[in-house]
Amino acid sequence: MQSREEYAQDLFVREDELLFAVRESITANGMPAISVPAELGKLLTLLVAMSGARNILEIGALGGYSGICLARGLTQGGRLTSLELHDKHADLARANLARAGFSHAVEYRIGDARASLAALIEEGARYDFFFIDADKENYPHYLDYALRLASPSAIIAADNVLLGDRVLDPDIRDASVEAMREFNRRLAQDDRLDAMLLPIRDGFAVARVK
């Protein structure tokens, strides 16, 4: 008998040739294989399309896998801004987004995401969809910035919110685990948000700004 995850995956998820090639390009360039899994990529496309988002902010680009999934959900004229620490990662992501036909819709900002986020606030930028998938210790800060940059009814999604189930073990108290606990607690308890944690893969959270 299949597991429930295998059943859902077999029936609903087909990683197309382009996304498969993007995954390969990431390892071929010596970068870590830490893109979102195919089912979460599909979920991102669906969430963007269902919410009608027009301006997406991604934090953590790697090689552009999730960027392509996000861009695929955008309506005509929609835009993706992606924040990435490393030039090498952003260069590959830019190339992969171009390969997917989205070069006109995407902008990469290189450097520490907190500095880029502060600059976006200065510029008066607004976003209606956020995808948080960078360094885990900074998730609570990324949530603060997202709330300051959010349009009404914006969606905030985040990957790895269970950190390999380490958030469940009270004896583990390292910085990234404590930060993720704080992030999850705030998503659950902040009056400005409606949120849910989906315990699939490494944990995927989705929230709506009221």
Stretch binding ligand SAM (CB under 6 A), from 3-11, 62-70, 118-126, 169-177: 62-70
The minimum distance between CB 125 and ligand SAM, in angstroms, equals 16
Are the CB atoms for 56 and 130 separated by under 8 Å?
yes
The minimum distance between CB 37 and ligand SAM, in angstroms, equals 9
In the complex with ligand SAM, which residue's Cβ is closer, 79 or 111? 111
Under rule CB under 6 A, which residues in 93-152 are in contact with ligand SAM?
112-113, 133-135
# residues near ligand SAM by CB under 6 A: 18
Does position 83 interact with ligand SAM (CB under 6 A)? The reply is yes
Does position 62 interact with ligand SAM (CB under 6 A)? The reply is yes
Stretch binding ligand SAM (CB under 6 A), from 8-16, 46-54, 57-65, 187-195: 57-65
The minimum distance between CB 1 and ligand SAM, in angstroms, equals 31
> What is the residue-wise DSSP string for 156-204?
EEEE-TTTTTGGG-TT---HHHHHHHHHHHHHHH-TTEEEEEE-STT-E
Q: Return the number of other C-beta atoms located less than 10 Å from residue 50's C-beta.
A: 10
Under rule CB under 6 A, which residues in 24-43 are in contact with ligand SAM?
34-36
Stretch binding ligand SAM (CB under 6 A), from 3-11, 82-90, 189-197, 199-207: 82-90
Tokens of 74: 């955008």
Q: In sequence order, what are the beta bridge partners of 58?
A: 82, 131
Q: Return the number of other C-beta atoms located less than 10 Å from residue 191's C-beta.
A: 6
CB-count exposure of residue 70 (10 Å: 0-12, 13-18, 19+): buried
Which among 93, 87, 178 has a CA at the least distance from the CA of 138?
A: 178
Helix (H) or strand (E) holding 6: helix 4-12
Does position 66 interact with ligand SAM (CB under 6 A)? The reply is yes
Residues binding ligand SAM (CB under 6 A): 34-36, 60-62, 65-66, 83-86, 89, 112-113, 133-135
